[in-house]
Amino acid sequence: MPRRSDLSSVLVIGSGPIVIGQAAEFDYSGTQACRVLRAEGLRVILVNSNPATIMTDPEIADATYVEPITTEMIEKIIAKERPDALLPTLGGQTALNAAINLHESGILDKYGVELIGANVEAIQSGEDRESFKGIVERIGGESARSRICHTLDECLAAAEALDYPVVVRPSFTMGGAGSGFAHDETELRRMAGQGLTLSPTTEVLLEESILGWKEYELELMRDVNDNVVVVCSIENLDPMGVHTGDSITVAPAMTLTDREYQELRDIGIAVIREVGVDTGGCNIQFAVHPTTGRIIVIEMNPRVSRSSALASKATGFPIAKIAAKLAVGYTLDEIPNDITRETPASFEPTLDYVVVKVPRFAFEKFPGADPTLTTTMKSVGEAMAIGRSFPEALQKAMRSLEKSGVGLTWEGEPGDKDELLRRAAVPTEHRLRQVQQALRAGATVEELHEATRIDPWFLDQMLRLEEAARVLAEAPKLDADLLREVKGLGFSDVQIGQITGKSEDVVRELRHALDIHPVYLTVDTCAAEFEARTPYLYSSYDEETEVPAGDKPKIIILGSGPNRIGQGVEFDYSCVHASFALSEAGYETVMVNCNPETVSTDYDTSDRLYFEPLTLEDVLEVVRAEQLSGTVAGVIVQLGGQTPLSLARRLKDAGVPIIGTSPEAIDLAEDRGAFGKVLADAGLPAPKYGTAYSFAEAKVVADEIGYPVMVRPSYVLGGRGMEIVYSEAMLADYIERNAEVSPEHPVLIDRFLDDAIEIDVDALYDGRDLYLGGVMEHIEEAGIHSGDSACTLPSITLGRDDIERIRYSTEAIARGTGVRGLINVQYALASGVLNVLEANPRASRTVPFVSKATAVPLAKAAARVMAGTTIAELREEGMLPAEGDGGDLPADAPVSVKEAVLPFNRFIDKEGEGVDTILGPEMRSTGEVMGLDTEFGSAYAKSQLAVNGSLPARGRVFVSVANRDKRSMIFPVKRLADLGFEILATEGTAVVLRRNGVHATVVRKHSEGSGPAGEPTIVQLIHAGGVDLIVNTPFGSAGQAGPRLDGYEIRTAAVVRGVPSVTTVQGLAAAVQAIEARVRGDIGVRSLQEHARTLTADRS
């Protein structure tokens, strides 16, 4: 069937900010879908609050709304755009929930919008556990025995019937939020209580434990003719009990016979039909008993998911793209397979390689959080690798994680076998390493299977690695045969060096002398049955290379690797833009990355894609392969964040042509002494600082600078390990906790500027001209990591002379360090002095936000500058505005607000309590949203809507602030009272308010306990749903009882109950403006395309 002719416009809902469980994979799928729909001649209207995405680039859709994904806002968009249809299956659970709300509130009917690619009944029966269970039963499958509960009493009774441990699963939550194992009644009370709260339908499911069973996933697609294909099978290395997003997963399934696999396939197809998924993708999960083969259907997602993004990358079958085509009427057999071009999409990919995905975690960012892996997803990113064998793929995947302490290593002693076995029994991010070390320590496959329930086949494959390592260690000489053999098992030069006592460089030289290099093979969907037309490549120590020759000059872009806090999708955005811009400029673009969630690893993005780890060894081999097949004009390292940047120096030493800012300039910006000289030469003030290699040195530096000081390790991203230190005792404590301090890892100590306005600048420099991309004013004061603080562009309080000083300073720094391309500078304006905090000669995480707020493609321009085009030429060409820049936006330019999204609701400590939510110098946010409107209040209101769902327009506000904040809180709180809010406060705060004429009801502190007449504490009030907004600025130091602990309890309760919580006075002022805007009710919607037209019109 051809495309439906009755559709001319489609609304696509994105997935909003990056959060745990819903990440960059939906940018990948949404971008694909929008492109496909536009190519089909449809007008595409997109709503997504996340600016750091390719899908919200103005050229991807016809009308792009970076607006909150709420029923209210989407209705405004529908009323304005009048789309014929709504496609909700490509934006994760967020989009699906939004679509259900729009349907249930009658908005879709009211405006005659047809839901395509899904129907509400299918969504509900797929997601509602009870009805899904019925479906599984009807098709002859089996579900885990379970009970649906709506109250705590029902939960307790059900658990008695099912026997502990039981699995607690709240309904309709994302990424399994709130689910886990309850081993006894105490645990059940806590988890079920939280689960009932988290579930929008106040519903949790309790089910029998299938802990330790084998876990599988199938990705399926169905078209309107009821043709169904299974795109990919995935087997989890971690058995049941660990969320699939947190598991190491392998494709294809490794330990099923055809009969067993076909049984899963039959069930999967029967389920997709019975659920009634109209068209599109769906994913279904199974548990298989390891010794009886009993199959249990766990769940299905009637939409594109994280796993489908992984399956697309693993097989070369673009699920989201095909889903979009199916939604507008095509059938699978009408859609060509992109990769072979000649065969249709109605087939099942077959793999002649093995794919391994490993999750990346960020527990170090949440001290106190329980690191045990459970059925609640906690990972923040993932890496995927492809190899011709499981060991090769596993080794590549593990080194793609770029995280010390979790990879496979043969350094040092393995440790005690029994201890390792004991620890490996509890799943954590360290488990695979523990398994490997246990094998080193002599553990058997049987012992490890007993401890971990990991399938013996996987363990034996790991034993292969250990046996090879032993042969290597005992070999008298590293000859070609042996080297080829261990390289075939995925051993890196670093690992071979560990085993043989050589440096990585020596191993590489030896290997090259023996002419041992990987070859590059094609991901072709068909195991070489047909010729592949799309160069999607991976390395293997195999027989013949498939890199096609090219005659255009090539530019290699190094991506950013697995997402982590501090290095997320924003960097992928810049890499993708560079690829687009350089391709347009006539280069052949070559992308290297290992993150399956991203747009950069879509085989459509660049002329060639190498799905490879971003280590020195792997990158050098890619460069070599590309040099053999053509001319490499340069390698770009400054767009992918710290990952490629940290390779720059060694790549250059190895003779690789780095374009853009030179490695020397990168080093200069990182070297405090040299950079200090740049500032001094230009006469730019900076906070006093020093570098220390020991506590003694640190103490001297801090005494000289004066407390408070900001301390951090050098060479970090995302403020890792950064703290504000108020006293010598705290400094000693810090140095002790950061034991890595050494000559290679000094500690940087800066004067901390209290009460400063923090300013973030992204700029372009070509050696002659500076283009100020944007000047962002932070809403929170200095001291909170820029990635976690809200900011506004244009700035709302800076004067023209401030901007000119910023322009002058930025140019001086760019010139002084030798930047060619992007530079990010952070300033603190304190007492009229513009202090330079730091400069990063690379793309920053704000580049996409700045690009959208100013309607200028900054990353594209940066790529062109790196390739040699001047800013003047780009202005002439039209890529940059002919006149002016992001520093001198028109006075009436709309205001954009960026707000961070924090993952606190994902983490609990060992006692099951929440982790503290206060912000600090260490970045902890996973994503961001943007609010765009004519003035600050409504723009900020939108940003809060997008993060929290809402700020209240009426109700009760609880206020408790530190003494230093009491003065600045009076006006905003008074304004809230005037707007009709009831004010609750702790005693001290209430006194101040009352003296200033604001009536405040005193509420008992948590530490005071409930009153004699049963008066509740504030924490109890929050839990009872009696508070609509919380204003609580932290005071007291960490670990201290009393006020600090009170604050912690309050903020934690706020997270659990989902009550908006403000933790700075600056944030409060902004929130009040936003609430005013909400009360006025005049918040409208505007597309980025309209926004760009406004700015262009204003400029000319």
Partner 1 sequence: MSEATGGPAILVLEDGRVFHGRSFGATGETFGEAVFNTGMTGYQETLTDPSYHRQIVVMTAPHIGNTGVNDDDPESGRIWVAGYVVREPARITSNWRAQRTLDEELRHQGVVGIALTGTRALTRHLRDKGAMRAAVSTTETDPRALLARVREQPSMAGSELAAEVSTRESYEVLPPEGVGARFHVAAVDLGIKAMTPQRLAERGCRVTVLPATATAEDILALDPDGVFFSNGPGDPATADGPVAAMRGVLDAGRPLFGICFGNQILGRALDLGTYKLTFGHRGVNQPVIDTRSGRVAITSQNHGFAVDAPLDAPFDTLYGRAEVSHVGLNDQVVEGLRLLDRPAFSVQFHPEAAAGPHDAAELFDAFVDLMSAQPASAVK
Binding marks (x or -) toward partner 1, 461..500, rule CB under 8 A? Answer: ---x--xx--x----------------x------------
Nearer to partner 1, 6 or 481 (CB): 481
3-class DSSP state for residue 763?
A: strand
Looking at 72, 211, 278, 457, which residue binds partner 1 (CB under 8 A)?
Answer: 457
**SS3 state of residue 138:** helix
Residue 529 binds partner 1 (CB under 8 A): yes
Out of 225, 583, 968, 1089, the residue judged to bind partner 1 by CB under 8 A: 225
Q: Which is nearer to partner 1, 406 or 445 (CB)?
A: 445
| 3-state percent helix, strand, coil for the chain, nearest multiple of 5 | 40, 20, 40
Determine, following the binding rule CB under 8 A, whether residue 547 of this chain makes contact with partner 1. no
Q: Which CB sits closer to partner 1, 464 or 650? A: 464
Q: Which of residues 328-357 bind partner 1 (CB under 8 A)?
A: 331-333, 342-344, 346-354
At residue 359, what are phi and psi to the nearest 5 degrees?
Answer: -80, 155
Query: Site for partner 1 (CB under 8 A): how many residues?
Result: 63
Side by side, the strands of the sheet bearing 689-692 are: 689-692, 747-751, 709-713, 723-725
Residues ≥6 apart with Cβ < 8 Å to 724: 708, 709, 710, 752, 783, 920, 921
Beta bridge partners of 899: 929
**In the complex, minimum distance from the CB of residue 333 to partner 1, in angstroms, rounded to a whole number:** 5
Among 5, 292, 404, 831, binds partner 1 (CB under 8 A): 292
Exactly one of 227, 738, 1020, 1094 binds partner 1 (CB under 8 A); that residue is: 227
**Is position 548 an interface residue for partner 1 (rule: CB under 8 A)?**
no
Cross-strand partners of 928: 900
Binding mask 502-521 for partner 1 (x = CB under 8 A): -------------------x
Site for partner 1 in 585-644 (CB under 8 A): none
Contact pick of 515, 543, 744, 911 for partner 1 (by CB under 8 A): 543
Residues in contact with partner 1, shown as a per-residue x/- string from 372 to 411 under the rule CB under 8 A: ----------------xxx---------------------
Q: Say how far residue 423 (Cα) sits from the centre of its chain.
A: 28
Nearer to partner 1, 521 or 555 (CB): 521
> Long-range contacts of range 444-447, CB-CB < 8 Å, 24 or more positions apart?
447/421
Amino acid type, 324: A
Reading the block at residue 476, the tokens are 């008298």
Radius of gyration for the alpha carbons in the chain, expressed in angstroms and rounded: 28
Nearer of residues 231 and 619 to partner 1, judged by Cβ? 231
Q: How far is the CB of 466 from partner 1 (least distance, A)?
A: 10
Adjacency order of strands within the sheet including 43-47: 63-65, 43-47, 9-13, 85-87, 114-115
Q: Is 549 one of the binding residues for partner 1 (CB under 8 A)?
A: no
Region 831-870 residues binding partner 1, contact defined as CB under 8 A: none
Parallel, antiparallel, or unpaired: how do β-strands 833-840 and 180-182 relate? unpaired
Spell out, one character per residue from 427 to 456, where the chain touches partner 1: x when CB under 8 A holds, - when not: ------------------x---------xx
CB of 290 to partner 1, least distance (A): 7
- CA 620-626-629 angle, 5° bins: 145
Q: How far is the CB of 337 from partner 1 (least distance, A)?
A: 9
Is 261 an interacting residue with respect to partner 1 (CB under 8 A)?
yes
Q: Which is nearer to partner 1, 530 or 808 (CB)?
A: 530
Query: Nearest Cα to 948, choosing from 883, 1028, 869?
Result: 1028
Which one among 2, 6, 259, 1081 touches partner 1, defined by CB under 8 A?
259
For partner 1, the closer of residues 266 and 1082 by Cβ is: 266
> Alpha-carbon torsion 848, 850, 854, 857, what sign?
negative
List beta partners, residue 984.
958, 1001
Q: Which long-range contacts (CB under 8 A, 24 or more apart) does 1010-1018 make?
A: 1018/958, 1018/960, 1018/984, 1018/986, 1018/1050
Q: Is 888 in the site for partner 1 (CB under 8 A)?
A: no
| CB closer to partner 1, 6 vs 543 | 543
**Cα–Cα distance between 687 and 107 in angstroms, integer?**
55
Answer yes or no whether residue 697 interacts with partner 1 by CB under 8 A.
no
Does the footprint of partner 1 cover residue 542 (CB under 8 A)?
Answer: yes
Q: How far is the CB of 448 from partner 1 (least distance, A)?
A: 13
Q: Compute CA distances 207 → 130, 161, 293, 1010, whole Å.
A: 11, 10, 19, 36
Instruction: Categorise residue 1061: left if φ over 0, alpha if ψ from -120 to 50, beta otherwise.
Output: beta
Q: State the Cα–Cα distance between residues 752 and 756, nearest whole angstrom.
A: 9
Output 247 or 1032, the one with its CB closest to partner 1: 247
Q: Contacting partner 1 (CB under 8 A), which of 266, 479, 509, 1082? A: 266
- 871 binds partner 1 per the rule CB under 8 A: no
Residue 143: both structure tokens together:
């579900």
Closer CB to partner 1, residue 517 or residue 1099? 517
- Residues contributing to the site for partner 1 (CB under 8 A): 225-227, 229-230, 233, 252-262, 265-266, 289-293, 331-333, 342-344, 346-354, 388-390, 445, 455-457, 460, 464, 467-468, 471, 488, 521, 526-531, 541-544
